[in-house]
Structure 1
Amino acid sequence: MSDQPRRGRRPAGHSTRRTVLEAARAEFDERGYEAVSVRGVARRAGVDPGTVRHWFAGKTELLAATLGLTDIDPSAITRSAAEGPVEDLGERLVRAVVRAWDADGGATVRMVVPAIMADPGLRTLLQRFLGAEVLGPIVRRLDVSDAELRTTLAGSQVAGLMMLRYVVGVEPLASLPADELAPLVGPTLQRYLTGDLDATTAR
């Protein structure tokens, strides 16, 4: 029997989903995020594009699932937070992120972070995902020359918050409600996003 994957539509089962994810990871590794398409992933997996879309709406969802993010879409969170006045984007972003990751008590963060840190390939994919889909909407919303620097500085603050809240579990940060936490952390993000940055740092 041939080891080549069968062409055509496969039953939408767990093994098919795993095959699609394996093909997606290989495509992302070899081609980079921007060059990957659902059709290319389907071709590599030996299925129809419709079978891929049965599981994933597009390549953003494919990459998120490859990273282990199945129930939370970080890209959707930042796109939603980016809507509205830039002047309070920091607080809005903290509130949106904390509410989303609180939904499962931080279980996804605790599962995904060690897996990504242990896998150099996943770390590379995460960098691409963060740049294109998570930080990208905020960069575009700021629309200033140093938007990428500002956004990554804000992202570093959010990453630290998530580590202490969900992975390490430092109190009282770990149990502070989102509506109380956002006004405390939001101004720090806001300074990164719209405040004055030291000239030597912003070069």
Structure 2
Amino acid sequence: MTDEPTGAVRGPGRRPGSPDTRAGILSAARSLFAERGLKGTTIRAVAAAAGVDPALVHHYFGAKDDLFLAAMQIKVDPRAAMAPVVAGGADAAGENLMRVAVQVWDDPEIRLSLLGIARGVFDSDTQSLVRDGFLGLVLGPVGKGLDLDRADVRMPLVASQVFGFIIMRYVLRVEPLASMPAEQVVATYAPTLQRYFTGDLP
């Protein structure tokens, strides 16, 4: 697919700085995020591990969420990519989310940066990064933005469907899903996702 993903913004903004200092901060951040998760990691802790002042971490990377995305080396800002899903409303969320997911993952350059993260679900050392990145920064805000009832139940169900799709199509490349046209993928998955978004729950 040649079109740029709807709402996909490449790379969270990064300020210029010393390569060694930036690399040290990112290395410390990856280790702490993997060990403690997003919620359990603070800017102050990252700064201490990197041997720098917390203000320098903020200067180079901004807020903690921005630091997390930089540490994950994601070439698309998922917060911007998910904006059309929230803007489209709850009644169209299933189709819109699936369309964004396919557009982003079908982009070869973005896919390369995301494959390592997706494979991290099988690595106990990085599972917290995958969980916090995917649920915490990508899908969690969508549930809040759509003002869903029982979002704490609905969004993990959505995540299970989307992540399963990602693993099967892009990581394991299982046919016929791996080569299925994008529109067919959207039409196949959207109704199930929509049920998770707005359908009756047990």
Fold-level similarity (TM above 0.5) = yes
The answer on 1:12 being equivalent to 2:26 is no
Match of 1:104 in 2: 108
Match of 2:66 in 1: 61
Query: How many residue pairs align between the two structures?
Result: 186
Match of 2:8 in 1: none
- Specify which of 143, 146, 149 is matched with residue 147 of structure 2: 143
Match of 2:163 in 1: 159
Structure with max Cα Rg: 1
Match of 2:182 in 1: 178
Q: Which moved more, 1:50-59 or 1:98-107?
A: 50-59
CA RMSD of aligned residues (A): 2.9
Tell me the distance in 1 between the aligned counterparts of 2:108 and 2:53: 33
- Specify which of 25, 28, 32 is matched with residue 30 of structure 2: 25
Q: Aligned-pair distance for 1:32?
A: 5.0
Instruction: State the one-letter code of the partner of 1:20.
Output: I
Tell me the distance in 1 between the aligned counterparts of 2:106 and 2:60: 24
The answer on 1:193 being equivalent to 2:200 is no
The answer on 1:41 being equivalent to 2:43 is no
TM-score, length basis structure 2: 0.75
Tell me the distance in 2 between the aligned counterparts of 1:132 and 1:115: 16
| CA displacement, residues 60-97 of structure 1 (integer Å, 9 cap, x when unaligned) | 2322343x443133343234422222111111001111
Tell me the distance in 1 between the aligned counterparts of 2:127 and 2:116: 14
Tell me the distance in 2 between the aligned counterparts of 1:62 and 1:169: 31
Q: Aligned-pair distance for 1:21?
A: 1.6
Classify the secondary structure of the residue corresponding to 2:178: coil
Contact 2:119 2:171 in 1 (8 A): no
- Specify which of 91, 94, 100 is matched with residue 90 of structure 1: 94
Instruction: State the one-letter code of the partner of 2:100.
Output: A
Q: Aligned-pair distance for 1:12?
A: 2.2
| CA displacement, residues 113-158 of structure 1 (integer Å, 9 cap, x when unaligned) | 334522x232123323333212221221343442121111111111
Instruction: State the one-letter code of the partner of 2:18.
Output: A
Q: Aligned-pair distance for 1:58?
A: 3.0
Classify the secondary structure of the residue corresponding to 1:33: helix
Contact 1:61 1:73 in 2 (8 A): no
Q: Which moved more, 1:185-194 or 1:15-24?
A: 15-24
Instruction: State the one-letter code of the partner of 2:38.
Output: Y
TM-score, length basis structure 1: 0.74
